[in-house]
Structure 1
Amino acid sequence: MKRKLNQYTLRTWMRTFKDACKQLIIPFTIFQAIRTILFPSTFDVLLLTVFIIIALSYHYDLI
């Protein structure tokens, strides 16, 4: 049975790290989208896809 993590039971450094990632994922995604438009490569597209998935999972509280 999968147990859902409660954000208040996480350690302080882990909560701080999660909050920092939550704040930085949108600027990284925008930068990567501009970079992908200007210099498209397979790695850039894959990295942009990963950033979008992470941003959506933070938005919908899946992480």
Structure 2
Amino acid sequence: MQKWMGNARLICKQFIIPFTIFQGVRTILLPTTFDVLLLTLFIGIGLAIYFDWI
């Protein structure tokens, strides 16, 4: 893995959980199609990072 990709992965790993929690609360309060898709994307990215799929 290139150095910049490793740095990007570490940055994403640091921010994905707060973004996912915020998006989950937002989706519960005001659900739109975009919010649900974005929450699904954040969950997928979070799983991929923490299980080393990427």
Q: TM-score, normalised by structure 2?
A: 0.89
Q: What is the identity percentage for the equivalent residue pairs of Structure 1 and Structure 2?
A: 59
How well do the aligned residues superpose, as a CA RMSD in angstroms?
0.9
Structure having greater relative contact order (Cα 8 Å, sep ≥ 6): 2
Alignment partner, residue 25 of structure 2:
34
**Alignment pair present for 1:43 and 2:34:** yes
TM-score, with normalisation over the residues of structure 1?
0.78
Which stretches in structure 1 are left out of the alignment for 5+ residues?
Answer: 1-9
CA distance in 2: counterparts of 1:17 and 1:51, whole angstroms: 15
1:18 CA drift (Å) = 1.1
1:21 and 2:7 are equivalent in the alignment: no
> 1:61 is aligned with what amino acid?
D
Partner of 1:57: 48
In the alignment, structure 2 segments of 5+ residues that lack a partner are: none
- The 2-side partners of 1:14 and 1:56 are apart by 17
Runs of 4+ in 1 over 3 A off after TM superposition: none
- Shift, 1:34, TM fit: 0.4
Q: Which residue identity is paired with 2:22?
A: F
Aligned residues: 54
